[in-house]
């Protein structure tokens, strides 16, 4: 019975994806035909051809998400370490405040930030979009890295300092290898969140900064199922590739760290 339920759930997940995959290579699939009548690869040619707008926007979105990931991790690492290893007044409150972008609807947060960005001249440009993408990524980065810091502790770092290592050497040779698996997991989460953002990008970017998620949405509404499905498949595969690389990297770093410290 469990296997049957498992296969049924898997089938429910795969059926929409299979239908979308068929539509991505179909130019005509009228009702009541069970199979498509005509096939076409125009959606994929448009999505991956270097001269098209879709390919350029895809590369820009990937670059933007990478920048967001690096900035968010740079903020999250010292924040998570401070919360894990230091006792200070209001520590519990800080933990709650860090999670506020997840608890509070992003619409409310983005509207307030948009007013501030407009006054500062950060609206309608890439800098503003990058900064607003950092906001929903920080809770995930801090929470994941906080768990890693609390799990590993700081005893190895203390031993390195006793043996004469500087702060930079301790971070490079001790802290960084220990938290690298957590950084990969947090980085993949932050990247996916940034790459998938639509509303806050549209709000802060003002339509001038177009990401792949924004570029995809009009095709979904237009009724061109071939183009919408092909672009959606590229979107899903790009995220799946990040998840795959993340899993492989985590396994590699765990094996490397275990050989090093055992």
Closest CA to 109 of 143, 140, 135: 135
- Pairwise CA distance, residues 227 & 15, whole Å: 19
Q: What is the mean pLDDT of residues 178-205?
A: 91
At residue 102 the predicted structure's pLDDT band, cuts being 50, 70 and 90, is: confident
* Contact between 57 and 212 (Cβ < 8 Å): yes
Which pLDDT score is estimated for 186?
Answer: 93
- Structure confidence at residue 184 (pLDDT): 92
In the beta sheet, which residues pair with residue 187?
A: none
Q: Above 80 in pLDDT, residue 195?
A: yes
Asked whether residue 11 is domain-assigned, the answer is no
Cα 179 to the center of its chain, rounded Å: 19
For residue 2, tell me if it sits in a domain.
no
- Look at residue 27 and tell me if it is in a domain: no
Strands 38-39 and 26-28: antiparallel
- 59 in any annotated domain: yes
Cα-Cα end-to-end distance for the chain: 44
The answer to whether residues 187 and 98 touch, using CB atoms and an 8 Å cutoff, is no
Distance, CA of 36 to chain centre: 35
CB 81 within 8 A of CB 174: no
Q: What percent of the chain has pLDDT over 90?
A: 28
For residue 32, cis peptide bond before it (omega within 30 degrees of 0): yes
Q: What is the mean pLDDT of the chain?
A: 86
Structural domain includes residue 1: no
The number of domains in the chain is 1
**Residue 133 falls inside a structural domain:** yes
Nearest-angstrom CA–CA distance, 237 and 246: 14
Q: What is the CATH number for 179?
A: 1.10.3720.10
pLDDT at 257: 61
Domain assignment of residue 255, given as a range: 50-261
The three state secondary structure string of the chain is CHHHHHHHHHHHHHHHHHHHHHHHCEEECCCCCCCCCEECCHHHHHHHCCCCHHHHHHHHHHHHHHHHHHHHHHHHHHHHHHHHHCCCCCHHHHHHHHCHHHHCCHHHHHHHHHHHHHHHCCCCCHHHHHHHHHHHHHHHHHHHHHHHHHHHCCHHHHHHHHCCCCHHHHHHHHHHHHHHHHHHHHHHHHHHHHHHCCHHHHHHHCCCCCCHHHHHHHHHHHCCHHHHHHHHHHHHHHHHHHHHHHHHHHHHHHHHHHHHHC
In a domain, 16, yes or no: no
Rounded to an integer, the average pLDDT of 114-143 is 91
How does residue 68 score in pLDDT terms, banded at 50, 70 and 90?
A: very high
Q: Does residue 182 belong to any structural domain of this protein?
A: yes
Encoded tokens for 254: 């765990």
CA distance 22 to 36: 8
145-191 pLDDT per residue, tens:
999 998 888 888 888 888 888 888 888 888 888 889 899 999 999 99
């Amino acid at each position: 019975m469990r296997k049957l339920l498992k296969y049924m759930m898997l089938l429910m997940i795969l059926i929409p994806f299979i239908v979308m995959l068929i539509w991505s290579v179909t130019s005509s699939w009228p009702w009541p035909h069970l199979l498509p009548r005509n096939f076409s690869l125009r959606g994929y040619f448009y999505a991956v051809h270097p001269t098209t707008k879709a390919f350029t926007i895809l590369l820009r979105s990937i670059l933007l998400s990478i920048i967001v990931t690096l900035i968010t991790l740079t903020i999250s690492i010292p924040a998570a370490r401070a919360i894990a290893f230091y006792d200070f007044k209001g520590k519990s409150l800080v933990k709650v405040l860090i999670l506020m972008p997840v608890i509070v609807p992003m619409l409310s947060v983005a509207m307030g930030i948009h007013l501030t960005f407009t006054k500062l001249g950060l609206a309608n440009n890439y800098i503003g979009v990058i900064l607003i993408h950092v906001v929903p990524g920080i809770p995930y980065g801090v929470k994941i890295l906080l768990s890693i810091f609390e799990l590993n502790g700081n005893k190895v770092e203390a031993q390195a300092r006793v043996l004469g290592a500087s702060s930079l050497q301790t971070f490079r040779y001790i802290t960084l290898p220990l938290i690298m698996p957590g950084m990969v997991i947090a980085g993949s989460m932050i990247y996916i969140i940034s790459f998938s953002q639509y509303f806050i990008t549209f709000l802060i970017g003002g339509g001038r900064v177009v990401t792949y998620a924004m570029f995809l949405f009009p095709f979904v509404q237009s009724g061109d199922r071939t183009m919408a499905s092909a672009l959606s498949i590229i979107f899903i595969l790009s995220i799946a590739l990040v998840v795959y690389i993340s899993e492989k990297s985590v396994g590699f770093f765990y094996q490397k760290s275990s050989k090093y410290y055992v």
